[in-house]
């Protein structure tokens, strides 16, 4: 998601919306931006966690320094430590030259660890050391290197549940969870949908070179009633598909919008996060005919790496078609 996808208020450029839920998040951003406290952003995928991380960085004293992003779920497990800490020449097969890691790139600035819950346990140990000591060693190196980095982490997982299951270190969780900020779902920001739609339409008008003006009133009602399991990313994708198909400046949102509602628990029962995730993945697989990879695959709909989706399916006992 690009920086200008969301715009709120005079202070945070690029964040769109005026809902109470979003304003509450921005109040938290204002409080924490000016200090060095580690921040943990939580919430469903597609809610704009990277934009909030950018807002924190841009409002901090580190604004003039780099904001470096790492998608921990998209890095092959064998390369995670090299990606984070760098490596020396000859550290492993294929290491033909020294490589600078993301921590060094972010020195003096902010490191955004997206999908931090995907890190393997042995890497979590080394990350904890950096948070505690502000130093690390490159893979294959022997010299400790000091680094001055502020950490903002993000996850769509319940890290406390991951700790209980032994998949995430308790001490690292406490180090990251100093200042937690929950990013609201689009379902909680219904009044922001017209603002977001108008913003995306203006962008798509330029991108598609079409005189797009607005969506039909019926389409807007449908969008505000929809549960948006994919949140803002899904809204943007649905709108772009409809704009591509539109033959007039007034856009009709496709009827498929109602095909994938979020399952509602019956009789007020609250289901577990694993049950919700299992149902959500199965709906995405059903919509794609079991396809995981490719532009029409479930991983693309869910906006996660295909290997990450496969690992979650294995964890949740979902068999590939």
Predicted confidence at residue 106, as pLDDT, reads: 95
How high is the mean pLDDT of the chain?
85
Ramachandran bin of 93, using left for φ above 0, alpha for ψ from -120 to 50, beta for the remaining angles: beta
- Whether the CB-CB separation of 1 and 50 falls below 8 Å is answered with yes
The CATH number of whichever domain residue 292 belongs to comes to: 1.10.10
Locus of tokens 């980095």: 149
One domain for residues 236 and 122: no
In a shared domain, residues 251 and 311: no
Mutual orientation of helices 231-245 and 193-208 as an angle, nearest 10°? 50
- Domain-embedded: residue 41: yes
DSSP state, residue 260: S
Q: Is residue 209 part of a domain?
A: yes
Answer yes or no: do 289 and 151 share one domain: no
| In contact, 135 and 147? CB cutoff 8 Å | yes
Question: 27 with 55, same domain?
Answer: yes
pLDDT at residue number 21 = 93
Digit-coded pLDDT (tens) for 241-266 = 999 999 999 999 865 564 444 444 44
- Does 151 map to a domain? yes
Q: Is the pTM of this model over 0.95?
A: no
Is residue 144 one of the residues assigned to a domain?
A: yes
Q: Tell me: do 138 and 164 sit in the same domain.
A: yes
CATH code, domain carrying 225: 1.10.8.60
Rounded CA Rg of the chain: 21
Q: Are strands 145-146 and 150-155 parallel, antiparallel or unpaired?
A: unpaired
Q: Which residue, 248, 271, 150, 250, is CA-closest to 197?
A: 250
Residue 36 makes CB contacts below 8 A (sequence gap 6+) with 150
| 282 within some domain | yes
* Residue 150 covered by a domain: yes
146 plus 207 within the same structural domain: no
Highest mean pLDDT among 36-40, 84-88, 272-276, 282-286: 36-40
Q: What is the pLDDT of residues 59-115, one digit of tens each?
A: 999 999 999 999 998 888 778 888 898 877 766 767 677 788 899 999 999 999 999
Please report which confidence band the pLDDT of residue 295 belongs to, taking 50, 70 and 90 as the band edges. Answer: confident
- Calculate ∠ Cα 189-180-82, nearest 5°: 110
- 174 and 203: one domain? no
Q: Dihedral of the CA atoms 7, 12, 14, 17 (nearest 10)?
A: -10
pLDDT of residue 264: 45
Q: Residues 203, 292: one domain?
A: no
Per-residue confidence (pLDDT) for residue 256, from 0 to 100: 54
87 and 157 together in one domain: yes
Specify the pLDDT at position 38. 97
In a domain, 199, yes or no: yes
First and final C-alpha spacing in the chain: 30
- Write out the residue range of the structural domain in which residue 200 sits: 186-258
**pLDDT value at position 321?**
60
- What is the percentage of the chain residues whose pLDDT exceeds 70? 88
In the predicted structure, residue 267 carries a pLDDT above the cut 50: no
CATH of the domain at 46: 3.40.50.300
Domain total in the chain: 3
* Domain co-membership, 35 together with 175: yes
Q: Are residues 98 and 224 in the same domain?
A: no
Flag whether 321 is in a domain: no
Instruction: Choose the final residue of a domain: 135, 161, 182.
Output: 182
Per-residue pLDDT reduced to its tens digit, 161-211: 999 999 999 999 999 999 999 999 999 999 999 999 999 999 999 999 999
Q: 39 — phi, psi (to 5°)?
A: -120, 135
Residue finishing a domain among 115, 148, 182: 182
Are residues 154 and 282 located together in one domain of the fold? no
Residue finishing a domain among 234, 258, 282: 258
> Nearest CA to 105 among 56, 153, 68?
68
More confident position, 311 or 273? 311
Q: What is the pLDDT of residue 318?
A: 86
How far, in Å, are 90, 269, 297 from residue 77 at the CA level? 19, 37, 23
- Lowest mean pLDDT of 40-54, 117-131, 259-273, name the range: 259-273
């Amino acid at each position: 998601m690009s920086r200008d996808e969301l715009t709120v208020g005079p202070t945070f450029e690029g964040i769109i919306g005026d809902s109470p839920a979003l304003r509450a998040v921005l109040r938290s951003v204002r409080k924490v931006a000016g200090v060095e406290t580690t921040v943990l952003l939580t919430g469903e995928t597609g809610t704009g966690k990277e934009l909030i991380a950018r807002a924190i960085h841009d409002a901090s004293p580190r604004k003039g320094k780099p904001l470096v992003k790492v998608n921990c779920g998209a890095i092959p497990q064998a390369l995670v430590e090299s990606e984070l800490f760098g490596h020396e020449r000859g550290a492993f097969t294929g290491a033909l030259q020294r490589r600078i890691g993301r921590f060094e790139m972010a020195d003096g600035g902010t490191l955004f660890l997206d999908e931090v819950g995907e890190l393997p346990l042995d890497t979590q140990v080394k990350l904890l050391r950096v948070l505690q000591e502000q130093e690390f060693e490159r893979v294959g190196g022997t010299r400790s290197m000091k680094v001055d980095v502020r950490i903002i982490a993000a996850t769509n997982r319940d890290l406390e549940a991951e700790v209980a299951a032994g998949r995430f270190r308790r001490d690292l969780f406490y180090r990251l969870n100093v200042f937690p900020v929950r990013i609201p779902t689009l379902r909680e920001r219904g009044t922001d949908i017209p603002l977001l739609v108008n913003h995306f339409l203006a962008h798509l008008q330029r991108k598609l070179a079409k005189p797009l003006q607005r969506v039909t009133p019926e389409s807007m009602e449908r969008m505000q009633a929809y549960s948006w399991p994919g949140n803002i990313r899904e809204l943007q994708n649905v709108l772009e598909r409809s704009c591509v198909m539109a033959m007039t400046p007034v856009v009709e949102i496709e009827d498929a919008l109602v095909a994938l509602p979020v399952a509602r628990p019956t009789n007020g029962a609250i289901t577990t996060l694993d049950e919700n995730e299992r149902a959500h993945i199965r709906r995405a697989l059903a919509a794609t005919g079991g396809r995981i990879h490719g532009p029409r695959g479930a991983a693309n709909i869910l906006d996660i790496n295909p290997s990450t989706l496969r690992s979650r399916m294995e964890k949740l006992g979902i068999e590939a078609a």
